Amino acid sequence: MKKYLYVFNYPRLEEGICLMEMRTLFEKDIIEKEIFSNKNIDVSDSVYINFKIEILHMDEKFENIVEKIKKEKIIMEEFKVEYYKIGNDETEYAERIKKTRSIGLEVQGEPNMKNPKTIYGIVKVKDIWILGIYKKNNFLWNSRVKKPMSYSNSLGVSLAKSVINLATCGDRNISIIDPCCGIGTILIEACKMNVNIEGYEINKKIYENAKINLKFYNCNVEITNGDMHEIAKKYDSSILDIPYGIFSHITKEEQQSLINKTREISKRLILISFEDLDYMIEKAEFKIIDRCEIPKGNFKRYIYTCM
Ligand SMILES: C[S@@+](CC[C@H](N)C(=O)[O-])C[C@H]1O[C@@H](n2cnc3c(N)ncnc32)[C@H](O)[C@@H]1O
């Protein structure tokens, strides 16, 4: 029996990046929107995982789970039992309530319906009943969508969190460099996820705006005003949101040179681009190990994981 059940969802246009993130975090192909895994991921690290269940019992017969709970004589103060209907579970409301009560009656201690300290979750996945401890995504990233200093070339917060997950694979001990960090979207999200990250930004004004944003969100992240070609340190991963457009007049040769530099300073590269840059990645002697495209108006963003 796996330790955890994760339940995720995504807006249609974000299917590619969501599935790429899930493949990376759980190290397997994703077929369903429910993932069984032994990996303990903080659900709030991803914008797509709605909740997880730390599995206590799984059984084809719900009554068997009730029996097991009875035998365990669980004592829990301020608990609540909730039924979470997912996938193609068609269990009727009355039946769901009945099942919730039957578990609640076997837990010894005072329930707390408004502010429970522990939530027992019941779910049914493909005719298998699961009971476990429910952990919900706090979706706090939503509060960081509008920053004091904005920038037309900045990433959305949701995508920033996804690329961090692509860089870390869920391991918070990974060191990351965001060598073209703009106003610090990725730096702030990494800091909130307790991931070790540093930033570089060549433009003085944009760098100062990044400092303001970092301070506003209480993020103590090292950021340097300079050209990323000067970076001497080595990192596990680079996340390169490659400069483009009217604000950064950049040639193909310069873009190639930035990708080449990430090869020199990191083992893994997460590249974000508005163009297909396969040939540049190969030229830099990186191998593309996963990829997706995200539609954005008349354009699309290309996300690559390279090693
Ligand atoms: C696409 S923007 C990054 C936006 C950023 N991800 C954000 O969310 O704010 C690329 C940034 O790279 C910076 N840049 C361009 N060339 C650079 C270089 N050689 N070294 C460091 N930063 C550079 C640009 O000034 C620009 O702010």
- Complete DSSP assignment for 2-59: -SEEEEE---GGGHHHHHHHHHHHHTS---SSEEEES----GGG-SSEEEEEEEEEEE
Q: Which residue has the tokens 């659900």?
A: 43
pLDDT score for 246 = 58
Angstrom distance (rounded) from CA 15 to CA 107: 39
pLDDT score for 248 = 66
End residue of a domain, out of 136, 167, 200? 136
Q: Is the domain of 154 the same as that of 91? A: no
Residue by residue, pLDDT tens for the chain (307 residues) are 899 999 999 999 999 999 999 999 999 999 999 999 999 999 999 999 999 999 999 999 999 999 999 999 989 999 999 999 999 999 999 999 999 999 999 999 899 999 999 999 999 999 999 999 999 999 999 999 999 999 988 999 999 999 999 999 999 999 999 999 999 999 999 999 999 999 999 999 999 999 999 999 999 999 999 999 999 999 999 999 999 875 567 999 999 999 999 999 999 999 999 999 999 999 999 999 999 999 988 889 999 999 9
What are the C-alpha distances in Å from 16 to residues 4, 5, 31, 242?
A: 24, 21, 13, 20
224 lines ligand 1 (CB under 6 A): no
Q: Is the domain of 125 the same as that of 227? A: no
pLDDT score for 181 = 98
pLDDT score for 229 = 98
Q: Is the domain of 144 the same as that of 284? A: yes
188 lines ligand 1 (CB under 6 A): no
End residue of a domain, out of 78, 110, 136? 136
pLDDT score for 180 = 98
Atom of ligand 1 nearest to the CA of 185: 8
Q: Is the domain of 71 the same as that of 116? A: yes
Total domain count for the chain? 2
CATH for 175? 3.40.50.150
Query: Ligand 1 atom 14: the closest Cα is on which residue?
Result: 180
Query: Ligand 1 atom 3: the closest Cα is on which residue?
Result: 182
Q: Is the domain of 14 the same as that of 71? A: yes
235-241, strands of its sheet edge to edge:
222-225, 196-201, 175-178, 235-241, 266-273, 299-306, 288-296
- Report how far ligand 1's centroid is from the alpha carbon of 95 (Å): 55
Contact 18, 112 (CB under 8 A): no
End residue of a domain, out of 107, 136, 165? 136
Atom of ligand 1 nearest to the CA of 203: 25
pLDDT score for 288 = 98
In sequence order, what are the residues at sequence separation of 6 or more whose Cβ sits closer than 8 angstroms to the Cβ of residue 251? Answer: none
> Coil, helix or strand for 193?
coil
The boundaries of the domain holding residue 237 are: 140-306
Query: Ligand 1 atom 8: the closest Cα is on which residue?
Result: 154
**How long is the chain?**
307
- Report how far ligand 1's centroid is from the alpha carbon of 23 (Å): 28
pLDDT score for 247 = 58
Contact 242, 160 (CB under 8 A): no
223 lines ligand 1 (CB under 6 A): no
Q: Is the domain of 156 the same as that of 65? A: no
Probe residue for ligand 1, chosen from 146, 154, 202 as the CB with the greatest number of ligand atoms within 8 Å: 202
